[in-house]
């Protein structure tokens, strides 16, 4: 067992009608003035926003709600919300939605707590040193932002928009309210994309440069098996409570850090995250659904880096899919094929042509790779370190 430090301060309140506990949870964290952030009209139309505001009103908690967050959340909207929040002067931020809403809520919380700073400052090097306490009511199982220490924004105000992420313990919500019934009205494509994202959050930590801690692997492999079983059921039967509850809990556990615990010496098991970087570049340029960008590039990434540790891919295939083949390369290839079948059962694309609706040109591939490497200034990945030329090769393979 390799050494590690683990802490997750987020309180989980899970189950039917869990949102009725919102006022109680806010008060537990000292909240008296709550700024609520949500996405589109569906949260209002469903009655959820009005119901939560009513719960807070009844408890004597002042509140103000503001919507408009879009998938692949934008800096421009986060700035607008931060300005409105500063005027309201909240002592608690509540995000109601999925990863885009919660990442925006994290940005607003940091910015309100730091007068004189712009939202984007924290995504370009300024250290987050304090924040407004944040809570989450989850309506989309996917990003795991309700339990994670990360947040991603797209800066749409630049001449060339770009997408960046930050990691800080200040990103951790104080609580996450999780009622699977709130996810049952989602479009099937969104459920499928969410399940793919959940799978990939586990994958990024599983295929790491630093290995060891076998219980960590067992938890990851169990999570793989669970989302592979219940993800397709949720897509076919969105009103299936068992499936939607399993997907929701998988989403939180996949990004809470448990499946990536371990360190050798001073080197932490931080995970690879190359597929996420490859996918983020696609969503920046084409505004593609995040989970779909990951399934489009995954197999090509596997084929390109597998030589670094074929045995790891073989272990994945044997433990997750029960593939009983002695040869590591054969087992690894079969594991990739099984995963592609899983992605297909979610309704997800397996190539860039499927994702984009056209075969990208060489010029498009080069533009995506340039965005992925921040203008050819960085490498990505830890399982295998990938430079611009490597990334172009991967994009070409999944074209």
DSSP letters spanning 104-132: HHHHHHHHHTSTT--GGGGGTTPPP----
Question: Does residue 136 lie within any of the structural domains?
Answer: yes
Q: Which of 2-11, 178-187, 378-387 has the lowest mean pLDDT?
A: 2-11
Instruction: Return the pLDDT at 6.
Output: 82
Q: Domain check: are 246 and 368 in the same one? A: yes
Q: Domain check: are 215 and 346 in the same one? A: yes
Query: Environment class of residue 244 by beta-carbon count within 10 Å: exposed (0-12), middle (13-18) or buried (19+)?
Result: buried
Q: Domain check: are 144 and 241 in the same one? A: no
182, 217, 242 — which closes off a domain?
A: 182
Question: Does residue 377 lie within any of the structural domains?
Answer: yes
136, 157, 182 — which closes off a domain?
A: 182
The two tokens of residue 37 are 């952030």
Question: What pTM was computed for the model?
Answer: 0.95
Q: Domain check: are 237 and 386 in the same one? A: yes
Question: Does residue 2 lie within any of the structural domains?
Answer: no
152, 182, 212 — which closes off a domain?
A: 182
Q: Domain check: are 319 and 367 in the same one? A: yes
If you average pLDDT over residues 334-344, what whole number do you get? 98
If you average pLDDT over residues 75-92, what whole number do you get? 98
Region of residue 385 (left: phi > 0; alpha: psi -120 to 50; beta: else): beta
Q: Domain check: are 239 and 215 in the same one? A: yes
- How much is the mean pLDDT over the chain? 95
96: helix, strand or coil: strand
Q: Domain check: are 158 and 238 in the same one? A: no
Neighbours of 262 (CB within 10 A): 22
Binning pLDDT at 50, 70 and 90, where does residue 1 land? low
Query: What one-character DSSP code corresponds to residue 68?
Result: -
Q: Which of 28-32, 160-164, 206-210, 229-233 has the lowest mean pLDDT?
A: 206-210
Q: Domain check: are 129 and 215 in the same one? A: no
Per-residue pLDDT at 3 exceeds 80: no
CATH number of the structural domain spanning residue 143: 3.40.50.1970
List all residues 6 or more positions away from 292 whose beta carbon is below 8 Å from its beta carbon. Answer: 193, 196, 348, 349, 355
Q: 74 is in which domain, residue-wise?
A: 11-182
Neighbours of 119 (CB within 10 A): 24
Question: Does residue 6 lie within any of the structural domains?
Answer: no
CATH number of the structural domain spanning residue 268: 1.20.1090.10
**Could you give the number of structural domains in the chain?**
2
Per-residue pLDDT at 218 exceeds 80: yes
pLDDT in tens, 240-296: 999 999 999 999 999 998 888 875 655 556 789 999 999 999 999 999 999 999 999
pLDDT in tens, 159-214: 999 999 999 999 999 999 999 999 999 999 999 999 999 999 999 999 988 777 88
Beta bridge partners of residue 163, listed in sequence order: 154
Q: Domain check: are 205 and 177 in the same one? A: no
Angle at 246 between CA 96 and CA 299, to 5 degrees: 95
Instruction: Return the pLDDT at 270.
Output: 74
Q: Domain check: are 233 and 140 in the same one? A: no
Q: Domain check: are 149 and 236 in the same one? A: no
Binning pLDDT at 50, 70 and 90, where does residue 322 land? very high
Question: Does residue 260 lie within any of the structural domains?
Answer: yes
Binning pLDDT at 50, 70 and 90, where does residue 304 land? very high
Q: Is the dihedral of CA 236, 240, 241, 243 positive or negative?
A: negative
Instruction: Return the pLDDT at 7.
Output: 84
Beta bridge partners of residue 38, listed in sequence order: 96
Binning pLDDT at 50, 70 and 90, where does residue 81 land? very high
Binning pLDDT at 50, 70 and 90, where does residue 365 land? very high
Q: Is the dihedral of CA 277, 297, 286, 83 positive or negative?
A: negative
Question: Does residue 47 lie within any of the structural domains?
Answer: yes
Question: Does residue 254 lie within any of the structural domains?
Answer: yes
137: helix, strand or coil: strand
Q: Domain check: are 153 and 252 in the same one? A: no
Per-residue pLDDT at 76 exceeds 80: yes
Q: Is the dihedral of CA 343, 344, 350, 355 positive or negative?
A: negative
Question: Does residue 5 lie within any of the structural domains?
Answer: no
């Amino acid at each position: 067992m390799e050494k590690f430090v683990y802490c997750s301060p987020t309180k989980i309140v899970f189950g039917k009608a869990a949102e009725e506990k919102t006022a109680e949870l806010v008060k537990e964290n000292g909240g008296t003035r709550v700024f609520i952030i949500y996405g589109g009209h569906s949260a209002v139309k469903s009655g959820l926003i009005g119901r939560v505001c009513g719960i807070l009103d009844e408890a004597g908690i002042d509140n103000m709600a503001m919507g408009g967050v879009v998938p692949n959340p934008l800096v421009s909207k986060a700035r607008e919300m931060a300005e409105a929040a500063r005027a309201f002067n909240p002592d608690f931020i509540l995000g109601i939605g999925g990863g885009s809403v919660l990442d925006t809520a994290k940005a607003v919380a940091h910015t309100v707590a730091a007068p004189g700073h712009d939202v984007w400052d924290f995504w370009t090097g300024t250290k987050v040193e304090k924040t407004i306490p944040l809570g989450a009511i989850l309506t989309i199982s996917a990003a795991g932002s309700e339990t994670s220490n990360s947040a991603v924004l797209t800066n749409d105000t630049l001449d060339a928009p770009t997408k960046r992420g930050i990691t800080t313990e200040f990103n951790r919500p104080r609580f996450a309210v999780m009622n699977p019934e709130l996810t049952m009205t989602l479009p099937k494509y969104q459920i499928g994309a969410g399940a793919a994202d959940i799978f990939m959050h586990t994958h990024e930590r599983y295929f790491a440069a630093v290995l060891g801690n076998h219980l960590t692997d067992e938890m990851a492999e169990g999570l793989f098996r669970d989302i592979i079983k219940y993800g397709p059921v949720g897509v076919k039967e969105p009103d299936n409570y068992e499936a939607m509850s399993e997907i929701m809990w998988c989403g939180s556990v996949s990004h809470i850090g448990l499946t990536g615990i371990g360190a050798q010496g001073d080197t932490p098991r931080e995970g690879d995250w190359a597929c996420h970087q490859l996918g983020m570049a696609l969503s920046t340029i084409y505004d593609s659904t995040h989970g779909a960008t990951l399934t489009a590039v995954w197999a090509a990434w596997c084929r390109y880096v597998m030589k670094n540790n074929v045995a790891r891919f073989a272990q994945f295939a044997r433990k997750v899919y029960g593939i009983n083949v002695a040869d590591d390369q054969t087992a690894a290839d079969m594991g990739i094929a099984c995963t592609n079948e899983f992605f297909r059962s979610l309704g997800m694309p397996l190539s860039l042509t499927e994702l984009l609706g056209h075969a990208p040109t060489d010029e498009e591939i080069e533009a995506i790779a340039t965005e992925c490497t921040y203008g050819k200034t960085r490498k990505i990945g830890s399982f295998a370190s990938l430079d611009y030329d490597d990334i172009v090769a991967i994009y070409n393979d999944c074209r």
